[in-house]
Structure 1
Amino acid sequence: MTVPEKDRDILARTLWGEARGESLAGLLAVAWTIRNRVDDGKAKSWWGEGYAGVCQKPYQFSCWNKTDPNYQFLIGVKQILFRELAQARIAADQVIDGKVPDPTGGATHYYALSMKKPPAWAANAKQTLKLGGHVFFKDVP
């Protein structure tokens, strides 16, 4: 399936906003979480349609919230460092093109360990991976 350039760019920007500073493995894990939502198999997914729809679904990825400090970078008002966005783009392309396996075991959710406490949804979900600054989950009720 051909993925539009806009979707590739939005996924890369989401990875930058959500996981910059992580290793390539960490970026790939976040990207796979998003791909798992894109590939959920439902004709009209709650998650949104395509990578851009999933990434920009309101309140799903905080970097796209208009009040988030990352938002001004994501929409181009402020400049993202080229090498940071380039690394995120490499991860985005590898996941979209299926060049790397899913390290998350099918996760559709994650949270950053920097949060003061885990989100409520994590209590009844199945943890699949802890990598870098994120914990990944599937079967979230």
Structure 2
Amino acid sequence: MPVTEKDRDVLARTLWGEARGEGMDGMVATAWTIRNRVEDGKDRSWWGEGYAGVCQKPYQFSCWNSNDLNYPYLSGAKPIPAAEFAKCQLAAQQVLEGAKPDPTGGATHYYSTSMPKPPSWVNGAKQTLRLGHHIFFKDVP
């Protein structure tokens, strides 16, 4: 599936909303989680179609929820600081082009350690990486 300009933009915005405080390595890991969903081969109605579809699938990446504090920036109602967004665009580009290997070991999920307790989907999933404030997982077949 070809990657569109919308896909590139939405992926970079998602990285800003989900991982801007995690440094380049954290943004790359988050982008790989999204790429792993895009390439998973699961029913597209579950993950969404393409990068924009996966990122904006309701309730998958909380930064796209209309009640999230990041949403006004992601929707374009408020400007994302240019220097911060440039870093997110670079991380997105590196993952889309395969210039950075997948540090997550195939993860399709993660959660922030700032959550009061792990989400229920953690049960039955395999932890693949802990990086910064994110813990990454993949489904166990």
Task: Flag whether TM exceeds 0.5 (same fold).
Answer: yes
Identity of aligned residues (%): 70
Trace 1:122-133 onto structure 2 (pairs within 5 A): 122-133=122-133
Q: Which runs of 4+ in 1 moved over 4 A?
A: none
Partner residue, 1:51:
51
Q: Could you tell me the TM-score, scaled by structure 1's length?
A: 0.95
Q: Give unmatched runs, 5+ long, in structure 1.
A: none
Tell me, in whole angstroms, the C-alpha distance in 2 between the residues paired with 1:25 and 1:111: 16
1:45 Cα deviation after fit: 4.9
C-alpha RMSD of the superposition: 1.4
1:46 Cα deviation after fit: 1.6
The superposition leaves residues 19-55 of structure 1 with CA deviations (integer Å, 9 ceiling, x where unpaired) of 1111101000000000000001246352010000000
- Paired residue total: 141
Q: Are 1:106 and 2:106 counterparts?
A: yes
Paired residues of 1:15 and 1:31 also in contact (CA < 8 A): yes
Tell me, in whole angstroms, the C-alpha distance in 1 between the residues paired with 2:92 and 2:45: 21
Paired residues of 1:121 and 1:140 also in contact (CA < 8 A): no
> Which has the higher mean CA deviation after the structures are superposed, 13-22 or 117-126?
117-126
Tell me, in whole angstroms, the C-alpha distance in 2 between the residues paired with 1:18 and 1:31: 10
Paired residues of 1:122 and 1:140 also in contact (CA < 8 A): no
Partner residue, 2:38:
38
Q: Given residue 11 of structure 1, which amino acid in structure 2 is its aligned partner?
A: L
Structure number with higher helix proportion:
2
Tell me, in whole angstroms, the C-alpha distance in 1 between the residues paired with 2:69 and 2:119: 21
Q: Could you tell me the TM-score, scaled by structure 2's length?
A: 0.95
Tell me, in whole angstroms, the C-alpha distance in 1 between the residues paired with 2:89 and 2:73: 15
Paired residues of 1:109 and 1:140 also in contact (CA < 8 A): no
Partner residue, 2:92:
92
1:136 Cα deviation after fit: 0.1
1:71 Cα deviation after fit: 0.4
Secondary structure, aligned partner of 1:102: coil
